[in-house]
């Protein structure tokens, strides 16, 4: 039996957006939308050979109270430097209470309410297909229209949205808040294909638990500090990050909600599409 846990780190004290997990999108809290996603994945992907659980983990009683209101298990932790640190602290707390440590843990960030269920399922299937994977994360090849939308969003909030460079073996070579790669002769490429050469990273990570422990014991990396991307610590220390390429309908890919401006865009999506 493979044991997989979906952890939802939800920090109240965000510098850019305090109380972010409780902010409402279309009349429902961001956290409730992410919890509903985790609950649906646990129901649909558990089976005879796979047991999937989920929980919220936070440092703030207000979020813990809201988790109780929406029927989500919650693990309180102290102050943590990153979401991954919080996930590991929560797993340790659960283990101290007698629960079995999972084989893999998915870090489903509490500010990613538009993550499709199929994307979370792709991470689970990747681990089931190759349990030797150290870290798995999804990417999506952007259409030119989606790339234009990402560029427009970055003109307002430059650090929203992350792009990735992927090697021939589907391992991540780099991640950046800058749109990479730079593109020469873009007009020719647009004429040749509807798909751009830019991959957008979807902020969901699956870790083997032993790799998560190793990762959290490492000091912050130089580029991690500069970009504000903890996954760069993995690459800076030789930990492989496998990517799964997922299909998302044109116009449907959304960045995480990092700022009040992102929240306004999220509400516009809900208002326009339901």
Instruction: Give the pLDDT confidence score for residue 82 in this predicted structure.
Output: 85
Which residues, listed in sequence order, are joined to residue 91 by a DSSP beta bridge? Answer: none
Q: Residues 6 or more apart from 93 whose CB is under 8 A from it?
A: 75, 76, 77
Q: How confident is the model at residue 225 (pLDDT cuts 50, 70, 90)?
A: very high
Taking only the tens place, the pLDDT of each residue in 226-237 is 999 999 999 999
pLDDT at 15 over 80: no
In this prediction, residues 106-114 reach a mean pLDDT of 88
pLDDT at 130 over 80: yes
Q: Which residue has the higher pLDDT, 16 or 183?
A: 183
Instruction: Look at the pTM and tell me if it is higher than 0.85.
Output: yes
Q: Which residue has the higher pLDDT, 175 or 249?
A: 175
Taking only the tens place, the pLDDT of each residue in 151-178 is 999 999 898 889 999 999 999 999 999 9
Task: Find the range with the poorest average confidence among 54-63, 170-179, 243-252.
Answer: 243-252
Instruction: Give the pLDDT confidence score for residue 255 in this predicted structure.
Output: 56
Q: Degrees (nearest 5) of the Cα angle 123, 77, 59?
A: 95
> What b/e string do you get for 152-161 counting C-beta neighbours within 10 Å, with b at 16 or more?
ebbeebeebb
Task: Find the range with the poorest average confidence among 70-84, 88-102, 169-183, 247-261.
Answer: 247-261
Percent share of the chain, pLDDT over 90: 76
Residue pair 19/10 in contact (Cβ under 8 Å)? The answer is no
The number of CA neighbours under 13 Å toward the Cβ of 148 is 9
What the chain holds in terms of domains, given with CATH numbers, is 2-273 (3.90.550.10)
Q: How confident is the model at residue 6 (pLDDT cuts 50, 70, 90)?
A: very high
Mean pLDDT computed over every residue of the chain: 92
Instruction: Give the pLDDT confidence score for residue 216 in this predicted structure.
Output: 95
Taking only the tens place, the pLDDT of each residue in 28-39 is 999 999 999 999
pLDDT at 251 over 80: no
Instruction: Give the pLDDT confidence score for residue 258 in this predicted structure.
Output: 74
φ and ψ of 105, to 5 deg: -135, 135
């Amino acid at each position: 039996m493979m044991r997989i846990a979906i952890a939802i780190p939800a920090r109240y004290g965000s510098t850019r957006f305090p109380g972010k997990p409780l902010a409402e999108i279309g009349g429902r809290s961001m956290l409730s939308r992410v919890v509903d996603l985790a609950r649906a994945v646990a129901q649909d992907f558990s089976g005879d050979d796979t047991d999937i659980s989920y929980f919220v983990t936070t440092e703030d009683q207000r979020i813990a109270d809201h988790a109780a209101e929406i029927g989500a298990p919650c693990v309180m932790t102290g102050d943590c430097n990153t979401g991954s640190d919080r996930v590991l602290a929560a797993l340790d707390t659960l283990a101290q209470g007698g629960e079995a440590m999972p084989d893999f843990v998915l870090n489903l960030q509490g500010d990613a309410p538009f993550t499709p269920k199929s994307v979370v399922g792709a991470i689970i299937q990747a681990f089931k297909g190759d349990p030797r994977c150290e870290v798995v994360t999804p990417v999506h090849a952007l259409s030119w229209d989606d790339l234009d939308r990402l560029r427009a969003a970055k003109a307002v909030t430059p650090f929203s949205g992350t792009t990735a460079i992927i090697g021939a073996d589907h391992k991540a070579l780099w991640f950046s808040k800058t749109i990479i790669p730079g593109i020469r002769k873009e007009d020719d490429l647009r004429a040749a294909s509807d798909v751009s050469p830019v991959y957008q990273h979807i902020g969901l990570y699956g870790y083997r638990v032993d790799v998560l422990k190793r990762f959290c014991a490492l000091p912050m990396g130089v580029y991690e500090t500069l970009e504000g991307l903890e996954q760069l610590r993995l690459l800076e220390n030789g930990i492989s990050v496998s990517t799964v390429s997922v299909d998302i309908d044109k116009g449907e890919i959304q960045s995480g909600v990092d700022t009040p401006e992102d929240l306004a865009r999220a509400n516009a999506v809900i208002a326009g599409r339901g």
